[in-house]
Amino acid sequence: MSEIMKPSNESYSHLTVIIPTLNEEKTISLLLEKIEEITPHANVIVADDGSEDKTKKLVEGFEGNISVKFLDRKSALIHGLTISVLDAIMDCKTNYFLVMDGDLQHPAESLPRFYKKLEEGFNLVAGNRVEVIGKWPIHRKLMSYVARGLGSFSLMIRRRNRVKDIMSGLFASETNIWKQTISSHRKDFILEGYKVLFDFLKIHKTKLEVSHVNYVFGTRNFGESKINKKVIWKFFKSLF
Ligand SMILES: Nc1nc2c(ncn2[C@@H]2O[C@H](COP(=O)(O)OP(=O)(O)OP(=O)(O)O)[C@@H](O)[C@H]2O)c(=O)[nH]1
Ligand SMILES: [Mg+2]
C-alpha cells in the first residue's frame, strides 16, 4: 500500500471524508464549507450515484483549499450507498477515512473527535446517536431502534467486533484495514444496501480496537430521503 500518504503535521491532511450523495444540491456546498473550516487540509471524496440535480456542478465548482474529488458513478453497473462508499475507500489515498451523509444530518463539528481517536490508535471509531433532534415519524424511530438491537445481536452471535449504534452512517477507520477486507470479500457486502458498517463488521473477523463518538443526529431538513422499502428489506435479511 505504498500509495498511502504518510501523516504530516498539517492538520487533517491524512483524513479523507467520504460523502455518498444522490441529489443533495441543497446541502452539499454548505457541508463542504463546514468541512474546510473544521478540518483544514482534509481530503474529500463525494461518491455520487448519478445525481440529476446540481450536486455534480456544485462539487466540481467548489472553490476552497481542501481537495475535493467528485467520484462520478453515474454509469456504474451497480448503484447503491454501500458500493459508493466502498469505491471511495478503494480510491482513498490517506491513512484514515470518515464516512458521513451529505444532507447535514451528521454534525461536521464532530469530525475532530473522530480524528483524535484515530490518532490515538483506535482502528474504528463509530458514531453513536445519543439524541435525534427534529421530528422523526414514529415508524422511523421504531425501525431504527429494532434494527439497532437486531444488528447488534446478529454481530454478537457471530462473535464479531461490535459498535453501539450499528445504524449510524457516521464512522471513521483506518483505510488499509478496509481495503484489505473489501479486496477479499467484496461480494459479501450488500452493494445496493445502505449499512456498510454493519456489512464490514459481519465480514471482518479480526479483533479491532473500537471507540465511539457520541453525537446528536438531526432530521433531514432539505432534499428527500432515498431510503426505500427495498433497501430496508435487504438489510433485515442480511441480519440472519
Ligand atoms: N451514492 C449514493 N448515495 C446515496 C444513495 N442513497 C442515499 N445516498 C446518500 O447517502 C446519504 C444517506 O441517505 P439518506 O437518504 O439521507 O438516508 P437517511 O439519513 O437514513 O434517511 P433520512 O433521515 O430520511 O434522510 C445521503 O447523503 C444520500 O444522498 C445511493 O444509492 N448512492
Ligand atoms: Mg439523511
- pLDDT tens sequence across 98-120: 999 999 999 999 999 999 999 99
CATH number of the domain that 212 lies in? 3.90.550.10
Quick one: which ligand is closest to 170's CA? 1
* 8 CA to centre of ligand 2 in angstroms: 33
Give domain status of residue 6, yes or no.
Answer: no
Task: Tell me the pLDDT tens digit for each residue of 153-206.
Answer: 999 999 999 999 998 899 999 999 999 999 999 999 999 988 999 999 999 999
How confident is the model at residue 10, as a pLDDT?
59
Percentage of the chain surpassing pLDDT 70? 94
- Which range marks the domain in which residue 69 is found? 15-238
Mean pLDDT of the chain: 91
Taking residue 127's Cβ as centre, other Cβ atoms within 10 Å add up to 27
Q: How far apart are CA 181 and CA 66, in angstroms?
A: 28
Answer yes or no: is 73 within a domain.
yes
Minimum-distance ligand to the CA of 169?
A: 1
Mean pLDDT for 34-54 is 97
Count of domains in the chain? Answer: 1
Residues with a CB atom less than 6 Å from ligand 1: 20-22, 24, 47-49, 79-81, 84, 101-103, 105, 169, 220, 225-227
Q: Report how far Cα 34 is from the mean position of its chain's Cα atoms.
A: 17
Does residue 57 lie within any of the structural domains? yes
Distance 221 CA to ligand 2 centre (A): 9
In a domain, residue 203? The reply is yes
Q: Which residue has the higher pLDDT, 2 or 135?
A: 135
Out of 14-23, 42-51, 228-237, pick the least confident.
228-237
Q: Report CA(202)–ligand 2 centroid distance (Å).
A: 23
Give me 122's grid cell: 483506535
